[in-house]
């Protein structure tokens, strides 16, 4: 696979590989030391909510400047409050940041306070110009509905393919390497594959990995001899 030269011998075989990427099983924090300095073009971070998720998110962000190419960048998803904390803590290690709003249009809750209908996406950049020239997105509010209907649903945190295709499409080029340590339903990985980007994914939960594998299998994208093709580099 195109990205395989970019990482060292990993501790374990991937769950599966495709022509462009590999999904790993386990704790992303154990995978990080195996990733080569300045090898990644894009990191997508959508960590679980709560204290444990926050800790693991912090750990990955701390290591990201080492991993990103000088032209690389990072998108982190979350509530504005969480993203504000990250921004204050980490902005000095990036050259600039942009605040995007993913307006999914469907709030939860009903009653005496504002119903939140968006998620914040923090775009931390190493370079001044993080978007591909000529990219079609010009504004920082992305109005894309939540996953429903035809796009099979794994969990409420599943991001729509259209959203990830937009983020990956405007910030990388074909052949670039995208890393998602909290793959969940695998939306980042599938969007990368479809857009001809290389990718590395990691997911600690077995049901989620099975869901991702199913998504790729339905598209006929999984290679028959997974580990050999990775280690023969
Ligand atoms: C918010 S979900 C990601 C959703 C994903 N963006 C999507 O579109 O489906 C976070 C995922 O991170 C996984 N996770 C939590 N801690 C992890 C860790 N230390 N290493 C790898 N995966 C982890 C969880 O199992 C969960 O599936």
* Domains of the chain (ranges, CATH numbers): 2-219 (3.40.50.150)
Measured CA to CA in angstroms, residue 4 lies from 15, 87, 94, 186 at distances of: 15, 31, 26, 19
pTM score? 0.91
Q: What whole-number distance in Å separates Cα of residue 225 and Cα of residue 210? A: 18
Residue nearest to atom 25 of ligand 1 (CA): 205
Question: pLDDT tens track of the chain, all 233 residues?
Answer: 444 444 445 556 899 999 999 999 999 999 999 999 999 999 999 999 999 999 999 999 999 999 999 999 999 999 999 999 999 999 999 988 999 999 998 766 667 888 889 999 999 998 877 788 777 777 899 999 999 877 778 898 999 999 999 999 999 999 999 999 999 999 999 999 999 999 999 999 999 999 999 999 988 788 754 443 333 33
Counting ligand 1 atoms within 8 A of each CB, the residue from 203, 211, 215 with the most, and so the one to mutate, is 203
- Cβ–ligand 1 distance for 48 under 6 Å, the answer yes
Does the CB atom of residue 157 touch ligand 1 within 6 A?
yes
pLDDT of residue 10: 55
Q: Is 171 in the pocket of ligand 1 (CB under 6 A)?
A: no
CA distance 158 to 163: 11
| Ligand 1 pocket, mutate which of 48, 75, 155, 201 (most atoms under 8 A from CB) | 48
């Amino acid at each position: 696979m195109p990205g395989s030269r970019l990482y060292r011998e990993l501790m374990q075989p991937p769950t599966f590989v495709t022509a462009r990427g590999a999904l790993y099983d386990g704790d992303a924090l154990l995978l990080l030391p195996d990733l080569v300095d300045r090898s990644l073009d894009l990191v997508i971070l959508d960590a679980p909510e709560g204290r444990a998720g926050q800790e693991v998110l912090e750990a990955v962000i701390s290591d990201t400047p080492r991993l990103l190419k000088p032209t690389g960048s990072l998108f982190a998803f979350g509530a504005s409050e969480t993203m504000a904390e990250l921004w204050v803590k980490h902005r000095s290690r990036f050259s600039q940041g942009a605040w995007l709003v993913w307006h999914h249009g469907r709030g939860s809750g009903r009653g005496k306070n504002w119903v939140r209908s968006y998620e914040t996406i923090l775009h931390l950049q190493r370079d001044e110009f993080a978007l591909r020239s000529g990219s079609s997105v010009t504004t920082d509010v992305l109005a894309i509905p939540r996953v429903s209907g035809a796009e099979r649903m794994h969990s409420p945190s599943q991001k729509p393919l259209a959203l990830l295709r937009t983020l990956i499409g405007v910030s990388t080029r074909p052949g670039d390497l995208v890393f998602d340590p909290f793959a969940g339903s695998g939306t980042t990985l599938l969007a990368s594959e479809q857009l001809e980007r290389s990718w590395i994914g990691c997911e600690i939960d077995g049901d989620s990995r099975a869901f991702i594998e199913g998504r790729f299998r339905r598209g006929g994208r999984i290679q028959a001899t997974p580990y050999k093709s990775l280690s023969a580099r």
